[in-house]
Structure 1
């Protein structure tokens, strides 16, 4: 049994920031409402609120305690209503350590504990503890004993892979994050536009128009270049110092330059392994390896899929899987392709929207009809690629499927991980003896993750149904 412990006093700061962030919407609304009249009252109310937030943050820190008793972690918290939470060691799936900029300044970490019942948030979160305390707590909760010299030598020989700065730079340059940044920037501008004085806005607009087409094109190119550099920086900050290590029945991932994250992935929670080849990376021969992991939460700021390695050459993937996940080593280069008669369906679904757009623009704005025309050609080619890349392969109790949206995805999963199998067939497919296969697995937050392969040969869909149902 350990004594009751409190978090590091820096947790007061994190509590305060969280409270302000949750109230920022109402603070902004109040500022907009009272910015012209009764401004002094707004300042007084805001000062009182900040004082209240600070008081609540201090009390929350003081009333929060934790201790390990026998085989469980006990947490007590609550300012007015006292709450107790008991988490058994046997229920703990992963314990992750995260260190943001403030954490690293004071040599602190955030400890996040996840169980099978974790939803949108972690089962327990210790916002600020000393690094040594976080590591001690993780070892104690995972029932790890002190290792001797021989075990240390075994640990050193554990499979390990790191990413080089050159590969990290390539990952940033091919991340395709410019579109995401543009969308965020457009949303941000739409929100702050109301605060820009009309005179300043109109003068700026007239100045831009007066620059001429050539200057505007140069400005657009410069802006896109800056956004591209931001995308590179974001990728390198997120995946800097990326290292994956396999230890017994778990994978440990460490990454991040500003915010250092240590993620634990139990092998038994991996539902499928994916290989993603984006439109930009595929011609260069690069791909991303990721995992669909059951359970977990969104507290870590992770995507719904967990990246096992940000970028690697496609011909290196087999060696990577053999080292870390040998049971997922699949012959995904020899998949059963889609039938040729399915090609017209893929092309039609890909071009139908742009075909309607071409007609509309040609009628109302004929001078701009070349724009959707170019998009129509691109969508036609995308339809060909989607048909060409689709396929599947069964190897005993393992299934591999490949499909393309914009990026090409190859998914490898085991029979026991598939939660449901569904066959769909509409009238035109039935005439062509085609059908659609839809399979589901458990994904993050415990929700379903679905994979669909359209216009397979009907016999192949029936064979897969027999394979899933153990029918002969």
Structure 2
């Protein structure tokens, strides 16, 4: 029996065209600005070559969206999702149902008025933040059909491998698999938490990075000489006016970062079923990300100094083979530490969230800041010499770096309970990592000749994160304790008591 072929919605033309124009905005701007300067040769084509070239490029970009819509189709056959696309070069992609890990939905501003979604199909081979396949615009009904067919295909594959099931039981289970598994809501951002998240986010750095990229691309085309003359004129009015303008610019950038975060995390909700977590968020563009529980490798709770003052932090999970949202996923972008246990216990019932109590030895404290003197001393010497006497203020770097190192040493701790290791460390933010023994890909101890004299060492635990690894590190640990942790990791090592394994599922499964 032949399967029907499904087509994308016509909104695909608009979405793909705007996407192509967005990606080509820089070369288009460069061509138009550069060509507009040379228009005195007397030859119409030479004087207007930039307009001709830009027009041809725009026509090509407009036609690319139309071509994708007309020539893109997908269908289900032999336990696979099959996709065919392309005009001159026809591309066919076959994705077996059992290889599909998750389906992520996105509702953009062009999708929502028509009840459409963008579907991203992820497999273990997805990398670089790119999904294995993408359906630009399909109806919600078609998206549900895709999910239903994939679930049925996986169930049928499992049933074929288990011959002991009776035929009647197989039909009953097949009907049950077609239903959407009930997902329980375990976490959502309150309006107060959303505002706090937006006001304490680091989005202002993204804005400044975007401005810097723009200036590097179009610095030669902008009238920077006139701007510098105007700035020189402003300086004549006094330093107060200049400082006021700088503060105003920073305030506007901060407001933009608050707005970006607010729109991005509006309606943030986490739901969990027996096999997966579903994360939804967004105001203008609503995103739905599915994270299989079997792919979760490690959990980390991050507290930056500002949020730590109010008792807040963010919870990250590291996923194997993830894309789209990335291998590091913000499970709870902002959560009160006292309220962390209840929602996290719903997802990982066996996770031990007690604070680590094993501290580091004092003899390893100086290693947290001694190495920094290698770069501090030359900088202090140069600044102090050329900017004397004000350059001597650079000497304040010494107590600042020493204080940071002692703070890092004091914050570090660990705990081993059953089959779980909890490691707490600090750069500037405090990070507490919860990792199961079977999730660790490799473990090693590193020790320099200076550390060997003090009998301390650094231990590194590597867990799967995307297509790479996430390094959980504890520096300047007592050597005997580091060796004990390494022996605990050995596959032949048996752990007695409650290993708390039910919260994580083996990667091989």
What is the TM-score with the length of structure 1 in the denominator?
0.91
Report the secondary structure of 1:101's partner residue.
coil
After TM superposition, the structure 1 = structure 2 runs for residues 19-418 of structure 1, keeping only pairs within 5 Å, are 19-37=20-38, 38-120=46-128, 121-143=130-152, 155=182, 158-297=184-323, 300=324, 302-331=325-354, 333-350=355-372, 352-369=374-391, 372-418=394-440
How far 1:466 sits from its partner (Å)?
Answer: 0.7
1:113-158 per-residue CA deviation (whole Å, 9 max, x = no partner) reads 111111232111001111222233223222397779xx89x937x2
Contact 1:289 1:307 in 2 (8 A): yes
Q: 1:163, CA displacement in angstroms?
A: 0.8
Which position in structure 1 is the counterpart of 2:506?
none
**1:6 equivalent in structure 2:** 7
Distance 1:335 1:209 in 2: 56
Q: Tell me by how many angstroms 1:159 deviates.
A: 4.2
Answering whether residue 486 of structure 2 is matched by residue 465 of structure 1, we say yes
Given that 2:411 and 2:424 are in contact with CA atoms closer than 8 Å, whether structure 1 keeps it comes out as yes
Name the CA distance, whole Å, in 2 between partners of 1:368 and 1:180: 32
- Superposition deviation, residue 295 in structure 1: 0.6
Deviation of the 1:72 alpha carbon: 1.7
Tell me the distance in 2 between the aligned counterparts of 1:61 and 1:180: 33
Aligned residues: 463
Change (3 A) 1:165 1:355: farther
CA RMSD of aligned residues (A): 2.3
Structure 1's unaligned 5+ residue stretches are: none
Contact conserved, 1:159 with 1:324, CA < 8 A, in 2?
Answer: no
Match in the other structure for 1:448: 469
Give the Cα separation in 1 of the matches to 2:293 and 2:141.
26
2:449 maps to 427
Identify if the C-alpha distance between structure 1 residues 352 and 218 changes in structure 2 by more than 3 Å, giving closer, same or farther.
farther
1:424 is displaced (CA, Å) by: 0.8
**Which 10-residue stretch deviates more, 54-63 or 348-357?**
348-357
Q: Distance in 2 between matches of 1:318 and 1:354?
A: 42
1:246-300: CA deviation from partner (whole Å, max 9, x where unpaired): 1112111111111111111111100000100012111111010110011122xx3
Mark the CA change 1:229 to 1:30 in structure 2 (over 3 Å): closer, same or farther: closer
Which range is displaced more, 349-358 or 381-390? 349-358
Distance 1:195 1:257, change over 3 A: same
Hey, what's the Cα distance between the residues in 2 that align with 1:69 and 1:303? 30
**Structure-2 separation of matches of 1:450 and 1:329:** 20
Shift, 1:351, TM fit: 5.4
Separation (CA, whole Å) in 2 of partners of 1:374 and 1:329: 41
SS in 2 for 1:366: coil
Distance 2:123 2:317 in 1: 18
Q: In the alignment, which residue of structure 1 is the partner of 2:159?
A: none
Residue 459 (structure 1) shift = 0.4
Structure-2 separation of matches of 1:24 and 1:220: 29
- Summarize deviations over 1:171-219 as a string: whole Å, max 9, x none: 1122233334333323333433322225522332213312311222222
Cα offsets for 1:33-59 (capped at 9, x unmatched): 422123412112221222233233322
Moved more, 266-275 or 126-135: 126-135
Farther-moved stretch of structure 1 (281-290 vs 16-25): 16-25
